[in-house]
Homo-oligomer: A and B are copies of this chain.
Amino acid sequence: MTGSASLEGHPAGATRSGLGVVGGQGELLDRPTTAQRVADVLRERIVRGELRSGTQFGEQQLTAALGVSRNTLREAFQILIGERLLIREPHRGVFVRRLDATDVRDIYNVRRLVECAALARPAEPRGLVEMRAAVRQGRSAARRHDWYDVGTADVRFHVAVTALGGSGRLDRVMRALFAELRLAFQLVPDSHVLHKPFLPRNAEILDLAEHCDYAQASERLRTYLDEAEAVIVSAVDGD
């Protein structure tokens, strides 16, 4: 539906690695395998909303479009299923995950627990720098009315908050959760209604953290999350 997009011009020969710009998070320092690159491409498309929730991933069609074999494609599926972006219905196929209100509430439960805990402790300067950069990116994107990019900046901000927790594993897990969150964002018809009000809230939270008022920052973040959850849930229910 979203047109055809080859992975790299499918070089007929096997075991070829094209460019592979994105690279996700890559296990260690490996140049990604084909399945990884396929997963990266599909993840990007899902997150951007080019592949809407519920759309089926026909194996036949995708192998043709991406220029990879069915086996490789299925390996990529397993990666994205593990990240909960895809869901497999046995003998029926894999689909872009469709979130309901319960999912949204669950995601925000995780965020409240993890992010608030991470923010409630003295923040490292590096983390604050990244948060500030995210706030700037968000404002810039809002001026351009690029609401997808506002969402990207928002995610970047909260990834930075998570990083305050000081655990690479937590970062990785939360990054996957934020990808799922993009699926939730798509449930809200007009993105600016969702993102615009929360732009200054991030700035406020950053301000409090910079003034070392971590308790207050954490508290503000909690109400932020409560309200964001309410906006999305109401959009789902009212749909």
Contacts and interface: CB of A to CB of B under 8 A. Distances in A.
A107 B27 contact: no
Contact of A114 (B30, B87, B90, B113): B113
B109 A170 contact: yes
Contacts of A45: none
- How many copies of this kind of chain does the complex include? 2
Interface in A75-111: 75, 78-79, 81-84, 87-90, 106-107, 109-110
Interface string A107-137: 1011001101110000000000000000000
A88 B165 contact: no
In the complex, which of the residues A79, A168, A173 has the most CB atoms of chain B within 10 Å of its own CB atom? A173
A83 B81 CA distance: 12
Contact of A71 (B33, B74, B114): B74
A4 interface: no
**Chain A interface residue count: which class?**
35 or more
Main secondary structure on A side of the interface with B = helix
Contact of A166 (B107, B109, B166, B170): B109
A144 interface: no
Contacts of A27: 81, 87-88
A2 interface: no
Contacts of A205: none
8 contacts: A27-B87, A28-B87, A31-B90, A71-B74, A79-B82, A82-B83, A106-B167, A113-B167
